[in-house]
Structure 1
Amino acid sequence: MFLRSIRLKPISGSMPNYYPFTIPAIRNLKELSFHSDVTFFCGENGSGKSTLLEAIAFQCGFHTAGGSRHNRYEVHASNSDLGEHLQLSWLPRAQDGFFFRAESFYQFASHIDETDEDEYKSYGGKSLHQQSHGESFLSLFANRLNGKAIYLLDEPEAALSPQRQLALLRVIYDLTKEGGAQFIIATHSPILLGYPGASIRLFEEGEIVETEYENTEHYSLTKYFLQNRERLLAELFKEEE
């Protein structure tokens, strides 16, 4: 492990009253420690998980639209207001890493097309734009992520089939067990959240709390749907009287 904890730097005066400091979980953040090689951020949309992951990426020196310390390209709104107020504690500091962001992956792939001089060896030997969405995601995970480093993944399941989500779990396993990597992943996927031994941090009701896999709504709702599909859908589509 590399990253041990994060906290908000002291802010003189009152807490800023603008986004993202208006997100309850961010506003109430004091210190968050890491004790596992794989940590998941989960919670509803707007709960702050991707915002916090982006701020960590900013402090790591990664491009906040996706990439490493060496990727520099222009993307609208790729700055991080929160990142400037975040303090990271390392032991030791990671010398390498990567930030994957599903929502700006197209711009990252275009940047690689414009700058790659190594015949895409770090991305499976083919332009990311010349693969399907899911294939390009998995090509990046399987080829670009390697060695001792910190990897920040924001909704990596966005273009992955269930089978390929399992393939990503294998990539994570190999890198943490053999390469000494650390992962922090923001996700909605009940498949990814099932990674054994992972720390799950739930963003809920203005707090960030550690929870068990079976206590997440991602698990319980998916389980209920699979076991009670007809009943749930009948209730969902019931005509109002």
Structure 2
Amino acid sequence: MSQKITTIGFDADDTLWQNEQFFRLTQDLFYDLLKDYADTDHLAERLLQSERKNLGQYGFGIKGFMLSMIETAIEVTDRQVPVDVIQQIIEAGQEMLRHPIHLLPHAQDAVEALGRNFRLVLITKGDLLDQERKLAQSGLGEMFDAVEIVADKTPETYIRAFMRHGHGPDRAIMVGNSMKSDVVPAIEAGGWGVHVPSTFEWEVEKADAPVDHPRFRVLEDLGGLQGLVSDLA
């Protein structure tokens, strides 16, 4: 009898290493820079609107986030934003791009252990250069059989990835912190979706959990992943 599960997909940001917390810190700086023009709640709302609007043009990642902050700053100040504020926003974004990688608990152990018996595929969205940098610095790059850096994550994304690098989505598990990007579309593609919640959740990535679906699972952290996969495989 053939093995039920042969391929495991991993998300990267906030699944294997910290990411969103650095966005939050930069947002706090952004709110402080513009506190004389608008309160925090209004700035947060306007920034989120800009991010949603710009995803189709800039995609996911730090560079698009920087441009959305600059656009928001121009709008909320009625085009009167000081040049030094723009400069500080750019510098904050550049600092994010240089920030060292911090692996999340159990990430390395989980990848190493599962790589002995399963085909591992990193499926992440965002800026190509930045995602490649983070993967290289993480020390996990050589442990993956394949890496897919995609513009967005849809059921079709997972079908293509798991057909290309495995035996199809029905014999694959996708592990990630985003219900919207990692779990729901992987299940819709025919695979298993394992949600590993992160400390911070970007509003854009929120979605209802498919709690009644037989292929949906939740883990507190990656420490329980090997046991879960063993049960399913």
**TM-score normalised by structure 1 residue count:** 0.28
**TM-score normalised by structure 2 residue count:** 0.28
More strand by share: 1
More helix by share: 2
